[in-house]
């Protein structure tokens, strides 16, 4: 009798369980020499006195986890900042390769800090940053921009 592993809840579009386990906006962030992720000024709201409003800088902080089966695989990471109507405000994409884990056989932890500079918000409202891996949305970071 043949038994096959069938765990659809553990697999993603690319067949392996890569996931984003942390996605936040912050004023500042860094990774220490010891590998600690330091986040300063986590926020989900911006206040502006007039529109269009320009926000000088924010940082998108991500912690991703990949399985040992993904080591060496090439991934495409995309970020899209959309307004409440689905209009694209800004975005970027980058390719990366899943690195070796700190300890053999352990999941691979990837920490990424991306500066988002001089973002113009045309109007007050609800926005969100969508993070996609290999074309599939893995995280949504909400952002409200309001009049103050």
- So where are the chain's domains? 8-73+101-127+142-147
Q: Residue 10: which pLDDT band, with cuts at 50, 70 and 90? A: very low
Q: Residue 6: which pLDDT band, with cuts at 50, 70 and 90? A: very low
DSSP per-residue letters across 91-115: EEEEEEE----SSTTSPEEEEEEEE
Cis status, amide bond into 52, omega within 30 of 0: yes
Predicted pLDDT of residue 16: 55
- Distance separating alpha carbons of residues 122 and 43, to the nearest angstrom: 20
Q: Residue 18: which pLDDT band, with cuts at 50, 70 and 90? A: confident
- Distance separating alpha carbons of residues 111 and 146, to the nearest angstrom: 30
The total of other beta-carbon atoms located within 10 Å of residue 104's CB is 8
> CA separation (Å) from 87 to 6, 81, 82, 113, 144?
39, 8, 5, 24, 15
Predicted pLDDT of residue 148: 80
């Amino acid at each position: 009798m043949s038994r096959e592993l069938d765990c659809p809840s553990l697999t993603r579009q690319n067949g392996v369980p890569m996931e984003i386990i942390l996605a936040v906006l912050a004023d500042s962030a860094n990774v220490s020499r010891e590998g600690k992720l330091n986040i300063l000024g986590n926020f989900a709201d911006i206040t502006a006195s007039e529109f269009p409003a320009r926000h000088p800088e924010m940082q998108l902080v991500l912690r991703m986890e990949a399985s040992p089966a993904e080591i060496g695989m090439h991934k495409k990471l995309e970020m899209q900042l959309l307004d409440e109507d689905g209009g694209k405000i800004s975005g970027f994409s980058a390719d990366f390769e899943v690195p070796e884990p700190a300890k053999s056989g352990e999941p691979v932890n990837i920490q990424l800090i991306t500066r988002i500079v001089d973002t113009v918000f045309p109007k007050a409202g609800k926005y969100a940053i969508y993070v996609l891996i290999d074309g599939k949305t893995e995280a949504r970071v909400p952002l409200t921009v309001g009049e103050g």
